[in-house]
């Protein structure tokens, strides 16, 4: 695992190929028994429809899955990555052997339904805070084995990535503070790994902890489960000294009010944890 994932097109393509290979191994195993009933020389054309409005995300994964089963497939996206589609709109057309399209179908759609759902939900949260200083940030509450794919989807929806994992940044939480003895002690200890970390952030639950963290030189502070009045006071006390992030109890309904307290970031686990898949379907017909 790289210390920092760069989300470049080349890195995304490599990630998508690996994810697709695992997904196909899980689904196809030793062979698609049902697709084997179809003449291997028969060719077909298929259309993928979005049954609801969504931000399309997951094209590299869908293409990787299809290419691994049907290398010569013709692929045409009618809605680009990161663009919004309407309900019942055709977003993708593919052509290849009927066997290949049938075998790849579910894996392709699984990636599209998950990643488009994350991107669509993120876009709604980003829109809700538009005009404020707040950025919408993801968390580590992701599906095991698909974290980078889901974080890519957050970026596609206009959100910001938090740390990738435990290895690339420091996030000091309540139990770390308790184990170290105090806010000041744990921040001092964090300096020993500062060169390895993309950032050091500490979670506080009270204004007194915030003051102690700022006095100890904290540059990023996570304000955990604070009410509106306390959040506004925290912003006043901070006075721009550290990046302030909100976490806990964040809903779309109260998101705008939270953003208007003046915080810099709002981290939301539900972007990747509580995902309702976008509904896609594929319709296949034989090519004359």
Q: Is-catalytic flag, 151?
A: no
CA torsion through residues 173, 174, 178, 184, sign: positive
User: How do residues 8-23 score in pLDDT, each as one tens digit?
Assistant: 999 999 999 999 999 9
Q: Is-catalytic flag, 219?
A: no
Catalytic residue among 224, 233, 260, 279: 224
* Residue 172 and residue 189 in contact, taking contact as beta carbons nearer than 8 Å: no
User: How do residues 174-215 score in pLDDT, each as one tens digit?
Assistant: 889 988 899 999 999 998 888 889 999 999 999 999 999 999
In this predicted structure, what is the pLDDT of residue 286?
Answer: 75
Q: Name the pTM for this structure.
A: 0.94
Helix (H) or strand (E) holding 231: helix 228-238
Q: Is-catalytic flag, 70?
A: no
* CATH tag for 131-273 (out of 3.40.50.620, 3.20.20.70, 3.10.580.10, 2.130.10.10): 3.20.20.70
Q: Which residues pair with 280 in a beta bridge?
A: 50
pLDDT at residue 2 is higher than 50: no
Q: Is-catalytic flag, 279?
A: no
Which single residue is written with the structure tokens 């721009």?
Answer: 240
Nearest one of 125, 117, 170, 123 to 146, comparing CA atoms: 117
CATH superfamily of 9-126+275-286: Quinolinate phosphoribosyl transferase, N-terminal domain (3.90.1170.20)
Rounded Cα distance, 59 and 243, in Å: 34
Helices (H), 29-97: 59-69
């Amino acid at each position: 695992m790289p210390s920092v994932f760069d989300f470049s097109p080349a890195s995304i393509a490599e990630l998508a190929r690996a994810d697709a290979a695992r997904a196909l191994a899980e689904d196809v195993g030793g062979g698609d028994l049902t697709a084997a009933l179809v003449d291997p020389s028969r060719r077909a054309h298929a259309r993928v429809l979005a049954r609801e409005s969504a931000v399309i995300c997951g094209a590299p994964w869908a293409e990787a899955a299809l290419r691994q089963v049907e290398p010569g497939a013709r692929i045409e996206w009618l809605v680009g990555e990161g663009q919004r589609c309407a309900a019942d709109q055709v977003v993708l057309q593919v052509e290849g052997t009927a066997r290949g399209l049938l075998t790849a179908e579910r894996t392709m759609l699984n990636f599209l339904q998950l990643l488009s759902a994350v991107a669509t939900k993120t876009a709604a949260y980003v829109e809700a805070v538009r005009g404020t200083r707040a950025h919408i940030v993801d968390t580590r509450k992701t599906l095991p084995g698909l974290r980078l794919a889901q974080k890519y989807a957050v970026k596609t929806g206009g959100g910001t990535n938090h740390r990738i994992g435990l290895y690339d940044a420091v996030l000091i939480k309540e139990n770390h503070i308790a184990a170290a003895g105090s806010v000041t002690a744990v921040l001092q200890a964090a300096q020993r790994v500062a060169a390895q970390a993309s950032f050091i952030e500490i979670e506080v639950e009270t204004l007194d902890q915030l003051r102690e963290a700022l006095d100890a030189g904290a540059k990023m502070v996570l304000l955990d489960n604070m009410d509106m009045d306390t959040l506004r006071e925290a912003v006043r006390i901070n006075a721009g000294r550290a990046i302030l992030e909100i976490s806990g109890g964040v809903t779309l309904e109260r998101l705008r009010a939270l953003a208007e307290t003046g915080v810099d970031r709002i981290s939301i686990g539900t972007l990747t944890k509580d995902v309702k898949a976008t509904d896609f379907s594929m319709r296949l017909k034989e090519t004359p």
